[in-house]
Structure 1
């Protein structure tokens, strides 16, 4: 059983009627319904909850954290960002969606500005699978087509991904590295581009399949914890002249 926490600001849905019409219960609830299964236990957390819903107890019981944020990045407390960062370094998986590229936690983990081109014009996005052997691409067709999405374009100011799984093409001509993996400490991170709040992207079965696959990939593997610091020799050390 993989324990997943879905974090969402839950601001657009409260304040914007157009967004509320698409996600009446919030993006987090749409994702929870879309990825929950007998093998995935899902809970949700939002910005306005105490400690943003990401208490020590919640994070200690989270294998994979999914993060969607946009208009409230600056309202996330630095102490909570540090807490999440430490959990990732200790082995918790992190999946960052769409405008979460500008979140404090993603920028802290990347060490870069994470800026990009953007345009909201409801244009077609074609998400190409460029690493079909990767577990996150399991069960997918050659590409995913979204008829209406916000454009993100290069240059995307991130470190070179450890693995590139998806590349997007947009109707207006831009391309974007839309599915990137990174390893930080013992944790695995996946950034996935689509998911603008005014479009029903998180109801798309293929998009949900990507996120389901990413949850399984990012979950802690049980690998040995590295040992660091001053260390006693394993074998006798002979006297040196």
Structure 2
């Protein structure tokens, strides 16, 4: 692995341009708020892109040079071209790490990787969220206490149409009583994926030091740290002699 982890932060960047309350909180966009923090962290090389940039912010050269993709989207998921989703999907399967934030669970890429439709309970009521750490020894929660408390967030609740994770890092409790699997680790092909639930655009969640610490930790953890074992697919020769006959009767399958 190179000294620098090449992180690309992709943001839909719709709400910040069309909703005054969001523009006030994130005047340069969620991607820039995250980028300014992560740029200051040792070993992370940051690139940003949005839906409205040329090539939707993800030209081929950026995709190929990305070790970790951080994705935030909500209203414009259907405007992301399928051909772009195909490229990103193949990169994750081949080893690129991916972090999906908040409503990105409804993105085309997340749903394709997870094999589910996304969605579930939700409510905007300015309520408190407490994210309980369930795996205190996991690298993603390094430097985090027993929980992260956010004074105001949008509620996402169970049952939620996301798959069971390989490891559940956070469980959220909301002031209204619901709970949500909020820090989920998956493996897809050779790539690591982390879904982190908080981050509604109308709240300053991405200025919270613990939230930023989790995203930084996750970027380091999902990055491809070493060459994974080679996985062979397709028609292959046998490792040992085979005595069977082919269905067409022409002898050994390798003849």
Partner residue of 2:32 out of 17, 29, 33: 29
CA-to-partner distance for each residue in 1:51-71, whole Å, 9 max, x for gaps?
A: 211121101100000000011
Q: Which runs of 5+ in 2 are unaligned?
A: 245-251
Within 2, Cα distance between the matches of 1:83 and 1:25? 27
**How many residues get paired?**
240
The TM-score with structure 1 as length reference comes to: 0.95
Q: CA deviation at 1:135?
A: 1.2
Task: Give the Å deviation of 1:134.
Answer: 1.3
Match of 1:80 among 55, 78, 84: 84
**In structure 2, what is the Cα distance between the partners aligned to 1:74 and 1:227?**
34
| Structure 1: 4+ residue segments shifted above 6 A | 238-241
> Normalising by the residue count of structure 2, what TM-score does the alignment of the two structures yield?
0.90
- Specify which of 211, 214, 220 is matched with residue 224 of structure 2: 220
Moved more, 53-62 or 222-231: 222-231
- Report whether the alignment pairs 1:176 with 2:188: no
Report the secondary structure of 1:155's partner residue: strand
Q: CA RMSD in A?
A: 1.5
CA contact (8 A) 1:167 1:178 kept: yes
Q: Which has the larger radius of gyration?
A: 2
For the residue of structure 2 that corresponds to 1:196, the secondary structure is: coil
Q: CA deviation at 1:204?
A: 0.4
Q: Is the counterpart of residue 40 in structure 1 residue 23 in structure 2?
A: no
Separation of aligned partners in 1, 2:242 and 2:89: 42
Verify the 8 A CA contact 1:51 1:80 in the aligned structure 2.
no
What are the ranges of 5 or more consecutive residues in structure 1 without an aligned counterpart?
Answer: none
